[in-house]
Amino acid sequence: MTITADHAATHATAAPTAPAASLLSARPHPAGHERVEVVRGARSGLVMMVAVHSTRLGPALGGCRLWHYDTVDDAVADALRLSAGMTAKNALAGLAHGGGKAVIMAPDEPLDADRREAAFLDLGDLVASFDGSYVTAEDVATGSADMAVVARQTSAVVGLPEADGGHGDPGEYTARGVHSALLAVLPRIRFASPEGLRVTIVGFGQVGSRLARMLVEAGAVVSATDVNPARRAAVEELGATWVSPADAHRLDTDVFVPAGVGGMLSGTVIDELRCLAVVGPANNQLAEADGGDRLAARGILYAPDYVVNAGGVIHLGSPGSSREEVLAQIDALGARLDEVLALAEAEALTPSRAADLLVARRLAA
């Protein structure tokens, strides 16, 4: 593992500079990861990192999230976890990509436009240093406009604005894939359609809000929440019911949808869930390794997140495919989830373990 600091050019159009002194030299090598870089951007002064978990199937593909962490250790841990999840997601989606992830540590104060631009120029330099082995994209709190800034420093970026010839926001494609997966789950919880289905969505961002609209239009009874209380108006305007973020997981519901940041399904939350199934787009939903076992013990059907939320990465990772071909791949995520659940039943495994087994088989092929 290479961990460096102060890696960036001194102006927007300069070539990337070589990495400087180590920022986290005492950290142990993360087992299973091919390369990790942690740097402080020269323009922005923000700590950022890229973790490449695997290039076994092709260049690592995974988005960049801008998030506040209490410590650099916490940010690195998130990058490592997320990049490993991307390996699994891309493998089960059938993409010729491995898994990677970028994280920028957000400061306590909001970024103004100039510092935000500086941060993504710094990220562009960091991504360029991977020489094509990592391709970045948007993720939590980042967007296509940010990727356009990254593209000034490297071509290893997808999800640029459509006006710039890019793929645009992948949110609608992720939501479409979640919807396909949810439909695949319905027969297993004795529903013929979404009509009358009670769904609780935690996280009302680009994906959660789109999914909510699709479900409301199909006749589902939707409750939703978000850590940002300003989104309450959007929830109620859609015809959904706003619930408290702290109490959402305790609501009587049929399908619980984690659609925010990862790690929501802690042991405590799992014990308090009152649902038949968990199907959501959030990455790394299980806070502990035994989360899948705990859900199964409670009789709650869990749809592994990296199967459910692959719609966006299919959209971004299929540059040579037509829109119709991409949509067909995304709509097939329900069939892919069926394959996972059938294997789980046949082999007496939890869905999480069955999905991991299918990933291992693809990586070994």
Assess whether 253 and 120 both reside in one domain.
no
Does 203 carry a binding-site annotation? yes
- Examine the domain organization and report whether 106 and 205 are in the same domain: no
The answer to the question of whether 204 is labelled as a binding residue is: yes
Question: Residue range 134-146: average pLDDT?
Answer: 94
Q: 12 or 298: which carries more pLDDT confidence?
A: 298
Predicted confidence at residue 29, as pLDDT, reads 54
* Position 107 pLDDT exceeds 90: yes
66: domain CATH number? Answer: 3.40.50.10860
Q: Is 205 known as a binding-site position?
A: yes
Are residues 360 and 237 located together in one domain of the fold? Answer: yes
Domain count across the chain:
2
pLDDT per residue as tens digits for the range 246-285: 999 999 999 999 999 889 999 999 999 999 999 999 988 9
Average pLDDT for 303-331: 94
Q: Average pLDDT, whole number, for the chain?
A: 91
Residue-level pLDDT at 23:
57
Is residue 108 in some structural domain? yes
41 with 157, same domain: the answer is: yes
The pLDDT of residue 14 is: 43
Quick one: tokens of 288?
A: 């502990």
| Pair (53, 139) in one structural domain | yes
Give buried/exposed letters for 188-226 (b at 16+ CB in 10 A, else e): eeebeebeebbbbbbbbbbbbbbbbbbbbebebbbbbbb
Indicate whether 337 pLDDT > 90: yes
Measured distance CA(171)–CA(183) in Å, rounded: 18
In a domain, 248, yes or no: yes
101: annotated active-site residue: yes
Residue 10 lies in a domain: no
Task: Print the domain residue range for 84.
Answer: 35-163
Which of 163, 195, 230 is the C-terminal boundary of a domain?
A: 163
| Cα dihedral sign, 107-110-115-120 | positive
Q: Are strands 98-105 and 47-54 parallel, antiparallel or unpaired?
A: antiparallel
- Distance, in Å, from the CA atom of 109 to the CA atom of 129, rounded to the nearest integer, reads 29
The three-class DSSP label of residue 205 is coil
Ramachandran quadrant class, 168 (left: phi over 0; alpha: psi -120 to 50; beta: rest): left
Closest to 48 (Cα-Cα) out of 101, 109, 2, 102: 102
Residue 64 and residue 156 in one domain: yes
CATH number for the domain spanning 304: value is 3.40.50.720
Angle at CA 313, nearest 5°, toward 309 and 314? Answer: 100
Q: Same domain for 216 and 343?
A: yes
The active-site residue, picked from 35, 40, 65, 101, is 101
- Select from 144, 163, 182 the last residue of a domain: 163
Query: What mean pLDDT do residues 194-214 have?
Result: 97
Q: What is the pTM of this model?
A: 0.87
Spell out the alpha helix ranges (H) of the chain. 72-92, 113-128, 144-150, 171-185, 206-217, 232-237, 267-272, 291-297, 305-308, 311-316, 323-331, 333-347, 351-364
Specify the amino acid at residue 40: R
pLDDT band, residue 22 (cuts 50/70/90): very low
Domain membership flag for residue 278: yes
- Helix or strand or coil: residue 286? strand
114 and 193 both lie in a single domain: no
Average of per-residue pLDDT across 115-128: 98
- pLDDT bracket for residue 7 (50, 70, 90): very low
206 annotated as a binding-site residue: yes
Q: pLDDT value at position 174?
A: 95
Q: What is the pLDDT of residue 30?
A: 67
125 token code pair: 């330099």
Domain's final residue, options 133, 163, 193: 163
CB atoms within 10 A of CB 242: 18
In a domain, 106, yes or no: yes
Q: Assess whether 140 and 288 both reside in one domain.
A: no
Looking at residue 26, what is its pLDDT? 41
Contacts of 361 (CB under 8 A, 6+ apart): none
